[in-house]
Amino acid sequence: MLNNENRRVSVIIPAYNEESKIGEVLDKLAAVIGQNGEIIVVDDGSSDRTAEIAKTSGACLIQNERNKGYGASLKEGIRQAQYDLIAITDADGTYPVERIPEFVNFIGDYDMVVGARNGGHVKIPLVRRPAKWILGQYANYLVRGKIPDLNSGLRVFKKDVFEKFQNFLPDGFSFTTTITLALLSNNYRVKYISIDYFEREGKSKIRPIRDTINFFSLITRTSLYFNPLRVFMPVSIFFLTAGFILLAYEVFIAKDITDKTMMLFLWGMQFGVIGLLADMLSKRK
């Protein structure tokens, strides 16, 4: 149980049609948070009893008039939070919310503590695992480090860290991915704690193919913003290498240098220069 009065925490729960599980999640949170925090449920335009259950439980209820999205709901809840420590979790009962006090204990040494879904009991649907692994490897390359869980929905972070990036954070499911990449790309201290992840009841709101493409695009855009050389330089090197190989072939075998070789060199130099300029601009932000 959270028992340090100096470490009060605001727990934000975005919820959309989660009447079957939100009551259980709120009961668990009330038991571990006690009087040393607040629980804020952001009902994102639900058509079921989600808001009614949240209100009955005693949680602070914020209601969106329409469905605005996961990230938009989180941002609204965080803005209205009264404490400097923010915890976020889902309303579907998949995360072990009773471990939030453990996460809070690490804040001070770290700017964000994330629950990595690699514990002994993890129920991630098989259809999502290949895409999750590919996106994770791509993100690892872009931040030059290993990310145990890119988009875990259970985490604790400082409110002032959120405020520095809030205008950059998206309104959709990619909120957690973006804040992870933003902090790691800017050398913030992030700690990962192994957690279990339970099977979701009902239909997931994740769309595997569409959301995978969106996540890939998001990771690239985030890297372009914070670390553009990790995107531009490999492309530049690829074109320059191809140019040298083609030049060697044309000089020693074909005995004729074509426009294709010049274009490859030109593209390689252009991507390199753009990357350097983008990197200079990113360092000035």
Render pLDDT for 176-186 as a digit per residue (tens, 0 to 9). Answer: 999 999 999 99
Phi and psi, residue 175, nearest 5°: -55, -50
Render pLDDT for 73-123 as a digit per residue (tens, 0 to 9). Answer: 999 999 999 999 999 999 999 999 999 999 999 998 999 999 999 988 887
User: Is residue 255 over pLDDT 80?
Assistant: yes
* Lateral strand order in the sheet of 9-15: 60-63, 37-43, 9-15, 85-88, 155-158, 112-116, 190-194
pTM, rounded to two decimals: 0.84
CA distance 172 to 182: 16
In this structure, are strands 60-63 and 85-88 parallel, antiparallel, or unpaired?
unpaired
Instruction: Tell me the two tokens of residue 144.
Output: 């030059």
Q: What is the four-CA torsion angle of 200, 203, 206, 208, rounded to 10 degrees?
A: 100
- Mean pLDDT, residues 123-145 taken together: 81
Angle (nearest 5°) at CA 233 between 191 and 180: 20
Residue 76, SS3 per DSSP? helix
Q: What is the mean pLDDT of the chain?
A: 90
90 sits in which H/E element: none
What pLDDT does residue 127 have? Answer: 64
For the chain, the C-alpha Rg in angstroms (whole number) is 23
Q: Please give the full DSSP string across 111-180, using - where no structure is assigned.
A: SEEEEES-SSSB---GGGHHHHHHHHHHHHHHHTS--S-SS-S-EEEEHHHHHHHTTTS-SSTTHHHHHH
- Mean pLDDT, residues 129-136 taken together: 80
- Mean pLDDT, residues 261-274 taken together: 94
Cβ atoms of 148 and 132 closer than 8 Å: no
Q: Exposed, middle or buried: residue 249 (CB in 10 Å: 0-12, 13-18, 19+)?
A: exposed
- Mean pLDDT, residues 113-135 taken together: 82
CA distance 23 to 49: 10
What pLDDT does residue 204 have? Answer: 60
- Of 34 and 206, the structure prediction assigns the larger pLDDT to 34
Give Cα separations from 90 to 11, 40, 104, 204 (angstroms): 10, 12, 17, 12
